[in-house]
Amino acid sequence: MAAVSPYFQAMFSSPLKESLDGVVQLQDVCPSVIQNVLTYIYTGQVVLTLDTAEQLFSTASRLQIIPLLDHCCRFLMKILSLENCLGIYTLAFAHNKQDLLQATLSYISHNLSQLSEEEDFCHLDLQTLISIIASDSLMVSSELTIYQALRCWWKCKPEDRRPHFIELMRYIRIPLLTPKELSEVKKDWLDAKGDEIGMLYRSSEKRAQGSLPSLRQGMYSKKIVCVDLHVREDPSLKDQDFYVDCYDPLLGEWERLTALKSLMCPGCLAIGNRLYIAGGTHQDDSISDTLHEYNSFTNKWFQLASMSVPRSMHGFLAYKQKLFAIGGWNGSSVLATAECFDLIQKAWTPISRLPLQLQLFCSAVLNSKLYLIGGETLEDGHHQNSQGLLIYETKSDTWAQLPLGIVCLSAGAVAMDNGIYVIGGYCLSTPRPRSRSQNPFVTPVLRATSRCFFIKEDGSIDKDGIIPSLPEKTGASGVVRWKRRIYVLGGENGFRFNKAIYYWESGDNSWTKCKAKLPISYSGVSDFGCTTLNVPNSHIRSLI
């Protein structure tokens, strides 16, 4: 027993009565439960039901028999249902078992409205209830749903629970209620004390001051955002005309977010609800060194510290609270430098130089490594197609260079399925359709391809990778991952541009063409920033 339980080890190895007598009495544990514990210790097996699993879970937690505790935990996760999830959550909360807590809270968060009408919800103690309603992960589209759940809990024992009103209302994010929802809440408390109703009004005033609390998970959704879709050559367009366009893959609809300015070939990525735009080419063909941050929860842009050099057609990736700007074009030469921006320190620092100057590559993060695929390098003052792959190890600040064996420029790259999917791009020599940033070294380069392939973590191409070719040849498209899908938006093939949207879902035999197109009046667009971003639902955006 002492070999598997720190509890018994402490009992039998200390100068306690149990150690001297060789007997440990567990007064409040059922003998059949102890028998099951012993069976598991000596055989590694035990028959579980909901009742026995909960009893064994409590006993294993108390006796610190971790293998049995984890075994019960896995079983309880598998049998979660509307009938038992609140009881299992209460058990996990009492024993602070984090993995079971997270699993049950996730289940509860998707079914809160229905669960609030169950008898088990009425029996939740105050602290367990607070741990649920305080969570950001609740999948509710409206804060009113959480308030209504609280109201159900109050009505079970109104006199006993009325003293908890102020404490519980502190967990209702009142500024997230619409005016109509807020009036419903206030009607419930017309007979409330002055200080209680005053708290409601003070909280609602925060919204008018532009101070919103954090959103619940169900109040926003991941959408595809595109930066600089519009005709940059139009001299009548001002910075405020270059909106960030936002596409909802579920609804197939577009909406506009706050404008930034025209930036072709920028670095574009998002972390949660924050969109980052680094570098790019201005309307006058000068190269930008700026870093901008857009917070979709406040609908505001901020300018952060600038990069050490201007960059366009570069790599821009995020890993562990750091943004990496890699290679690119600075207006006069292809770059081999790279730098990272620390989101905590708010400052740029250089990282190891690339083994070669590189631009127009596609890039992705896989585990702790940054992958740069293909691209264009500079040799003896002339552009050359890179047929290689660079892998940057963030832990050691080192680069590895591997052969790829194919030309791949202006493609898209998406990390998924423990590898990287490379989508479209340019592959064969034909005259380049246009000058990029008045680059004096531009030479004839490429023809678009419909080719798609899969790169394994070690950098080798998986010849058995199952991803179909694109329906049309395209390069410089917006390529992003949305859930288990890869989306391809717009793009070009020589002088031909398109505005179609396609997606491929892992396991499908072909690409699907969306009914929606890029929200532009002309034939198509390429070289725009594209990523996915958490964007508040429309009724929440109306409160911002």
What pLDDT band is residue 359 in, cutting at 50, 70 and 90?
very high
Instruction: Note whether residue 147 is domain-resident.
Output: yes
**Domain boundary residue, one of 170, 204, 238:** 170
Query: What pLDDT score was predicted for residue 125?
Result: 95
Query: What pLDDT score was predicted for residue 433?
Result: 46
Residue 483 corresponds to which amino acid? K
**Domain boundary residue, one of 170, 198, 226:** 170
The enclosing domain of 53 has a CATH number of: 3.30.710.10
Residues 221 and 322 in one domain: yes
Mean pLDDT of 309-330: 97
Which helix (H) or strand (E) segment is 335 a member of? none
Query: What pLDDT score was predicted for residue 15?
Result: 58
Q: Which long-range contacts (CB under 8 A, 24 or more apart) does 324-328 make?
A: 324/351, 324/370, 324/392, 325/267, 325/278, 325/279, 326/354, 326/358, 326/363, 326/370, 326/372, 326/392, 327/354, 327/357, 327/358, 327/359, 327/361, 327/372, 327/375, 328/279, 328/358, 328/359
Instruction: Note whether residue 36 is domain-resident.
Output: yes
Two tokens, residue 217: 């998970």
Instruction: Note whether residue 308 is domain-resident.
Output: yes
Question: Tens digits of per-residue pLDDT, 5-47?
Answer: 555 555 555 555 555 455 555 566 677 877 887 788 788 888 8
The enclosing domain of 399 has a CATH number of: 2.120.10.80
Residues 292 and 356 in one domain: yes
Distance CA 518, CA 230 (A): 10
Tally of domains in the chain: 2
Instruction: Note whether residue 179 is domain-resident.
Output: no
- Judge whether residue 514 has pLDDT over 60: yes
Query: What pLDDT score was predicted for residue 193?
Result: 56
Residues 410 and 515 in one domain: yes
Instruction: Note whether residue 186 is domain-resident.
Output: no
Residues 151 and 290 in one domain: no
Residues 115 and 231 in one domain: no
Query: What pLDDT score was predicted for residue 403?
Result: 94
- Of the chain, the percentage scoring pLDDT greater than 70 comes to 85
What global pTM score does this model have?
0.85
Mean pLDDT of 341-354: 98
Instruction: Note whether residue 187 is domain-resident.
Output: no
Query: What pLDDT score was predicted for residue 219?
Result: 95
In which domain, by residue range, is 99 found?
Answer: 6-170
Mean pLDDT of 463-492: 94
Two tokens, residue 78: 């598998």
Residues 158 and 246 in one domain: no
Q: In 209-277, which ranges are continuous DSSP H helix?
A: none
What pLDDT band is residue 371 in, cutting at 50, 70 and 90?
very high
Residues 302 and 237 in one domain: yes
Instruction: Note whether residue 175 is domain-resident.
Output: no
**Domain boundary residue, one of 170, 203, 238:** 170
Distance CA 31, CA 195 (A): 53
Residues 429 and 514 in one domain: yes
Mean pLDDT of 366-375: 96
Q: Is 310 helix (H, G, I), strand (E, B) or coil?
A: coil
Least-confidence region, from 125-129, 273-277, 403-407, 511-515: 403-407
Query: What pLDDT score was predicted for residue 5?
Result: 57
Question: Tens digits of per-residue pLDDT, 423-472?
Answer: 999 986 544 444 444 454 444 546 899 999 999 999 999 977 789 999 99
Question: Tens digits of per-residue pLDDT, 176-221?
Answer: 998 899 888 887 776 555 555 566 556 555 555 556 789 999 999 9
Residues 145 and 47 in one domain: yes
Buried/exposed 411-430: b ≥16 CB within 10 Å, e otherwise: bbbbbbbebbbbbbbbbeee
The torsion of the CA quartet 94, 95, 97, 102, rounded to 10 degrees, works out to 0
Residues 295 and 147 in one domain: no
Q: Is 156 helix (H, G, I), strand (E, B) or coil?
A: helix
Residues 17 and 159 in one domain: yes
Instruction: Note whether residue 194 is domain-resident.
Output: no
- Judge whether residue 381 has pLDDT over 80: no
- Higher-pLDDT residue of 73 and 442 is 73
What pLDDT band is residue 489 in, cutting at 50, 70 and 90?
very high
With contact defined as beta carbons under 8 Å apart, do 252 and 516 qualify?
A: yes
Query: What pLDDT score was predicted for residue 162?
Result: 83
- Of the chain, the percentage scoring pLDDT greater than 90 comes to 64
Residues 378 and 524 in one domain: yes
End-to-end CA distance of the chain: 59
Highest average pLDDT, of 154-158, 231-235, 436-440, comes from: 154-158
